């Protein structure tokens, strides 16, 4: 079938079958839907857009709830967002952009004051806000939350004992001290910087032999390791 014949068949279907949609006619004759629309306009057979009747009362009732957005209302009533906006304009229930969120800022700040341990992500989800908007509210309301430190806090006695050991033994490698006391070497480094414990920079001379002599044994003073190496004739 040539293109001219397809156009003639589409025109015949437009005149004889008004119940068929443009897409159905296009599929029947093998043309694109836009071509069928152009044929209908050229021959004065253009069809108006069908508008589905929507009951405005249930939508107006939902519009009076400031916590619901246009998209949420449209999803609840299974209509388009444009229909919700059209009904809101007719009923005089139009909203300013972001007005529903700004109206709840005082409530959000009060909730943040009363629940300092709750995560910001949970608070944002509770009030239908983004985390960036919630952070802006908290900055404007002078609510500052420090980073929550999660982990085990060592007793002061343990920390003081470790620091005293490192002051008395400045040649022992930090890694071996961490192994001796069963703490993480990063934690030990933080303590060393915090309490200004003097340490040697880099590994001591003969560190390869010292490491080979230690193996998996707990930390030993470097001088003790050298004494063992000397006794073994190394």
Assign 164 a pLDDT band (cuts: 50, 70, 90): confident
Q: Domain of 203?
A: 156-231
In a domain, 149, yes or no: no
| 32 shares its domain with 71 | no
| 173 shares its domain with 212 | yes
- Number of domains the chain is built from: 4
| 184 shares its domain with 214 | yes
In a domain, 148, yes or no: no
pLDDT per residue as tens digits for the range 6-21: 989 998 988 888 888 8
| 166 shares its domain with 226 | yes
Closest of 151, 162, 152, 155 to residue 195, by C-alpha: 162
Write phi, then psi, for 184 (nearest 5 degrees). Answer: -75, 140
Write phi, then psi, for 169 (nearest 5 degrees). Answer: -130, 75
pLDDT per residue as tens digits for the range 112-125: 888 877 888 888 88
| 74 shares its domain with 118 | no
pLDDT per residue as tens digits for the range 130-143: 888 888 888 888 77
User: What is the distance between the alpha carbons of residues 222 and 226, in angstroms, rounded to a whole number?
Assistant: 6
| 162 shares its domain with 227 | yes
């Amino acid at each position: 079938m040539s293109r001219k014949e397809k156009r003639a068949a589409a025109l015949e279907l437009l005149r004889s079958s008004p119940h068929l949609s443009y897409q159905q006619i296009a599929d029947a004759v093998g043309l694109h839907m836009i071509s069928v629309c152009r044929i209908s306009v050229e021959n004065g057979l253009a069809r108006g857009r069908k508008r589905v009747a929507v009951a405005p009362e249930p939508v107006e009732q939902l519009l009076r709830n400031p916590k619901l957005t246009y998209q949420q209302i449209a999803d609840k009533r299974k209509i388009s967002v444009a229909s919700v906006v059209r009904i809101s304009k007719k009923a005089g229930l139009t909203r300013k952009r972001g007005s529903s969120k700004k109206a709840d800022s005082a409530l959000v700040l009060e909730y943040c004051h009363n629940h300092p341990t709750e995560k910001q992500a949970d608070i944002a989800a509770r009030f239908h806000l983004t985390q960036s908007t919630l952070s802006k509210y908290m900055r404007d309301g002078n609510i500052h939350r420090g980073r929550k430190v999660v982990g085990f806090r060592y007793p002061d006695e343990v920390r003081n004992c470790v620091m005293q050991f490192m002051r008395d033994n400045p040649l022992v490698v930090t890694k071996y001290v961490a192994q001796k006391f069963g703490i993480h070497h990063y934690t030990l480094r933080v303590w060393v910087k915090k309490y200004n414990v003097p340490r040697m920079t880099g590994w001591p001379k003969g560190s390869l032999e010292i490491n080979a002599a230690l193996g998996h044994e707990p930390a030993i003073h470097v001088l003790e390791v050298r004494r063992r190496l000397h006794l073994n004739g190394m």
